Structure 1
């Protein structure tokens, strides 16, 4: 029986794969090369090509091993890989199955740090415009850190010493280890559900591995999304983490974070005392200036001689009063003359019709005269009202002091010579008494003549 000398492709490939798998030199290899064609699958597997100047080697790193890589593999990086070489039967190619990967020349932690720092910087996480202002006098303070250790003790002691009015709440948090990232994010999110005024996130010093949770992207995004201003306080002064760049304020140590979060009670008391002294000086100076101004006012001419202020107004009132009196008497005399002329004209015109017409004219003129006199009197009264409050110069006695008299006949005031005849007895009222006299003769005023009373 003759066997078939031809093998199937699958059988040959399996044979070659067994040879690769059986070779102890290919089970654990260390390879240095440059990454190219790097593809990170959604499942977490990393597919890439490892090359140098002379050869190319397909490679894959499965998700279980890829999660241990601290940095993001990118094309062009020179890396150190440990793994095994085998054949991928589907394509018939041999390839490198990477178990670990680290950058050549620098540590993988440093590379991961720089990659995330660059990524967040490009997204604007470090932009000062996103930094929130810390309140000057916080009432409630959240502290995200381990519940035991020097860090939480230093923070609480410093807060109570500097500003005992603030209420401090500790959020117990894992700050190192595999679960630290999730614990820090959960504590920050829990604090944001309450109305805290400021939050301190940090821990004490340690190695880069101990502090690495504060370099994780999830922690950075939780800090950035926090509505509460956050002060980062990770490690010692020489330690710098991604959380420090994203936080609203970085403190060199946990103690320094507590000092930045609250004002100093001593400094506040000193400031209050200084402001009190300053206010006292300002008020004292103001009172002295006002007292000086008051003394100047009380010794000034208007206050020293107040009568000189209203003296010119008294003179103006007297002049206005005299002028008004003259105008009123002149107007009355002119009115009397017009009435006398009308009476004489009527006496010469006997016909009834002309008398009626004249009476109508007289009535119209009298109305116009009364309206004019009333209007004039109202206008003059308005001018005289302000002066009459202080002066009584218009009383009848004042008029009599100037030589005017008032004649009476049978108790009625005599206004015209037509009211008296020779032999009538009159009483003439003067300033200081009454004179009884007998009329001997009446002399009418002729045209062109004028008297003042």
Structure 2
């Protein structure tokens, strides 16, 4: 170790990188020793049985490692989003100078905020039926063109193109570039899925691959967005979700028609192996050729057997020709008989139709109408005459009962001073003026005397 001075002239020790990391490790392990930390698990990687991950809160994070022996003793799966109580020792990983906690115990004490949001959205969409197996559509066996929604740069698109062209050299793809991380990622991904679905027929798209590489739950969060999930569910063509590594699960994986553990596997699922297709076609051609050959051979044997069973065909033709002559003669006689019968029937129908001709029928109806008119006229005359005699009788009876008729016989009606007809002398006194009504005319009189009959 060599020396050096600072601005104040104080001599400082000069360390090598290894010495600095070793000293830092000694200080940390000496000062902190064992610690207990509460945090949310993120960015889990398992290598050689050892689990490497981060513990974080809303302001910071720290690297953590759990060696294979402790991993085997865990009673739960170590996944991103878990809120845990971790116990271990603080140290520095000298080769990299990484500050980390080497854990010996790990207890679950809840879920983190992102994991809680993930579970809530998962339950909501599952209740709506977006994860139902009945909605899943099969992938086309030989897609015309495949849409790939991912970042235009990076290993993901290169892996997909490499696998696709290796398996099917004539593969056709349309890359729809989007952001796969950050605040703008989810809206871009949802729009890209919607456009690809809407224009799928015009673009010749048969299937979509939505992909990105691995990362923490924060890195993959765009694929846990509700808009992205609903865009996948509404797609008119099948969607393959290839997000993260095999251990990573997103909402997009549950909604998609097919979930691929990696983008490379997605390409293998979508694009068939051309050599395998060719081999299968050749096998089918051989099977068809053999099947057709067997059918031809079988039919040849059947034809030969039928020929042997028939014997000399000329005798059979002669017999059938004679039967045909008899049948023709019988048909001719039947036709003549049928024709004669139908002619007679037509003549009868013609006679009936002649009687039913409109001109004949019209004359008949005209005669009926004339007769009915004469009868109606006669009945009307008789009815009028009868009603006239009846009216005269009624008039005579009415005339006999009418006061006017009584007056015609010499009687009169005497009206008192009050204008009412008098039937007796009561109420009349001498000097009263009376009105006498005759059959024709009226007389005025004054009472000069009254005689009362007992």
Q: TM-score, normalised by structure 1?
A: 0.45
Q: TM-score, normalised by structure 2?
A: 0.45
